[in-house]
């Protein structure tokens, strides 16, 4: 059983949903992002998404765009993003790590070598934003050969006719993009989620995580009322950015602690809800 499947099985047995915080690799620098990553499991993260910086993140709002820019300016690359996973795995062999990013840096790295290195360094799953099902054969065989889960995005625009195609070849969990829009902007209403999640469940037994627009503990709790997990990204990055803005571009001594405190607050929100599944 993959780490992702094992983790969701464990949470299901506990009767609760998953909190999946996001950390942009190398934002604003290597040390800060590695400290965030390493601190997240103890703070309450059940799975962790690592954002792979890209110059042109077309599905991301200003928060993640700027985080990616800061990371690249600090020297981020695909290679040293993978190295962060290796360093994380030195202390933690249980928490699933999912890389989220765009296709071009993966193509540039070499898809086959990338998937092999991901597996070797301890990555469990991939979310490739600009790789829809129609193009997935570029990556899927190599991901499968290396035991990596391919986590598909499902959007409000993905209709019933299309869902089987999108789900075909997806594993680990499915990621419901809860709004038509970019990250860190709008938030889906409870009614929208109450319509969307059961619709997707008719087509898959995979766990469903909700992302895009989940910012607060209450919203994370709302998300796991309907689904199996909540992804929080921009709200955590905003804490980093506020510190950088007020401290001459440098993180403050307690920046990491405050982001992790927010992860804990989100985790408490999630843990206060019995899972719907």
Partner 1 sequence: MNAPSPRFGANSLRNGPDARGRFGEFGGRFVAETLMPLILEVEAAYNAAVADPAFQPELDRYLKDYVGRPSPLWFAQRLTDRLGGAKIYFKRDELNHTGAHKINSCMGQILLAKRMGKTRVIAETGAGQHGVATATVCALFGLPCTVYMGAVDVARQAPNVFRMKLLGAEVIPVTSGASTLKDAMNEALRDWVANVRDTFYIIGTVAGPHPYPMMVRDFQSVIGNEAKAQLHEAEGRLPDMCVAAIGGGSNAMGLFHPFLDDPSVRLIGVEAAGHGLDTFQHAASLSRGRPGVLHGNRTYLLQNEDGQIQEAHSISAGLDYPGIGPEHSWLHEIGRVEYEAATDQEALDAFQLCTRTEGIIPALEPAHALAHVAKIAPAMDRDKIIVMNLCGRGDKDIFTVAEALGVKL
Please give the positions annotated as active site: 49, 60
Of residues 81, 96, 90, 109, the one with CA closest to residue 3 = 96
Beta-carbon contacts of 221 under 8 Å, excluding residues fewer than 6 positions away, are 269, 270, 272, 273
Should residue 132 be labelled a site residue for partner 1 when binding is judged by CB under 8 A?
Answer: yes
Return the residues of window 10-49 that contact partner 1 according to CB under 8 A.
none
Of residues 269, 252, 258, the one with CA closest to residue 236 = 258
Binding segment toward partner 1, per CB under 8 A, in 42-50, 51-59, 234-242, 258-266: 51-59
In this chain, which of 14, 42, 56, 73 binds partner 1, going by CB under 8 A? 56
Which helix or strand (DSSP H or E) is residue 153 part of?
strand 153-154
Torsion of CA 142, 163, 99, 144, to 10 degrees: -20
Q: How far is the CB of 157 from partner 1 (least distance, A)?
A: 5
How far apart CA 61 and CA 240 sit, in angstroms, is 16
Binding segment toward partner 1, per CB under 8 A, in 29-37, 53-61, 195-203, 268-276: 53-61
Which one, 135 or 254, has the nearer CB to partner 1?
135
Binding segment toward partner 1, per CB under 8 A, in 50-58, 237-245, 258-266, 267-275: 50-58
Of residues 169, 158, 156, 83, the one with CA closest to residue 122 = 83
Binding segment toward partner 1, per CB under 8 A, in 9-17, 61-69, 203-211, 231-239: 61-69
What SS3 state is found at 123? Answer: coil
Should residue 121 be labelled a site residue for partner 1 when binding is judged by CB under 8 A?
Answer: no
Instruction: Say if residues 237 and 217 touch (Cβ distance below 8 Å).
Output: no
Number of residues that bind partner 1 (CB under 8 A): 45
Q: How far is the CB of 39 from partner 1 (least distance, A)?
A: 27
Should residue 166 be labelled a site residue for partner 1 when binding is judged by CB under 8 A?
Answer: yes
CA–CA distance from 192 to each of 133, 208, 211, 213, 230 (Å)? Answer: 24, 15, 13, 13, 15
| Phi, psi angle pair for 267, to nearest 5° | -65, -40
How far apart CA 18 and CA 267 sit, in angstroms, is 8
In this chain, which of 86, 104, 120, 257 binds partner 1, going by CB under 8 A? 104
Return the residues of window 135-154 that contact partner 1 according to CB under 8 A.
135, 152-154
Of residues 39, 27, 88, 46, the one with CA closest to residue 234 = 27
Which one, 72 or 116, has the nearer CB to partner 1?
72
Which one, 47 or 182, has the nearer CB to partner 1?
182
Return the residues of window 169-198 that contact partner 1 according to CB under 8 A.
177, 180-182, 185-186
Q: How far is the CB of 276 from partner 1 (least distance, A)?
A: 23
Point out which residues bind partner 1 (CB under 8 A): 53-56, 58-62, 65, 72, 77-79, 102-109, 129-135, 152-159, 162, 166, 177, 180-182, 185-186
């Amino acid at each position: 059983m993959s780490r992702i499947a094992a983790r969701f099985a464990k949470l299901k047995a506990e009767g609760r949903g998953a909190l999946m915080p996001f950390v942009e690799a190398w934002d604003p620098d290597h040390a800060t992002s590695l400290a965030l990553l390493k601190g997240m499991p103890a703070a309450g993260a059940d799975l962790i998404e690592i954002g792979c910086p890209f110059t042109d993140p077309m599905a991301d709002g200003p928060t993640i765009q700027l985080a990616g820019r800061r990371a690249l300016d600090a020297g981020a690359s695909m290679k040293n993003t993978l190295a962060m996973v290796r360093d994380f795995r030195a202390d933690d062999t249980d928490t699933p790590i999912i890389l989220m990013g765009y296709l071009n840096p993966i193509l540039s790295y070499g898809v086959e070598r990338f998937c092999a290195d991901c597996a070797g360094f301890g990555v469990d799953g991939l979310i490739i934003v600009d790789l829809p099902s129609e193009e997935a054969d570029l990556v899927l065989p190599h991901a499968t050969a290396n035991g990596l889960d391919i986590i598909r995005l499902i959007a409000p625009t993905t209709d019933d006719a299309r869902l089987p195609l999108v789900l075909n070849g997806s594993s680990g969990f499915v990621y419901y993009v809860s709004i038509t829009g970019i990250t860190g902007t709008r938030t889906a209403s409870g009614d929208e989620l109450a319509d969307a999640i059961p619709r997707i469940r008719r087509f898959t037994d995979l766990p469903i995580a909700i992302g895009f627009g989940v910012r607060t503990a209450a919203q994370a709790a709302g998300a796991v009322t309907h689904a199996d997990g909540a992804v929080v990204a921009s709200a955590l990055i905003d804490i980093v950015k506020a510190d950088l803005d007020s401290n001459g571009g440098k993180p403050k001594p307690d920046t990491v602690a405050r982001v992790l405190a927010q992860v804990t607050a989100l985790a408490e929100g999630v843990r206060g809800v019995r899972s719907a599944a």
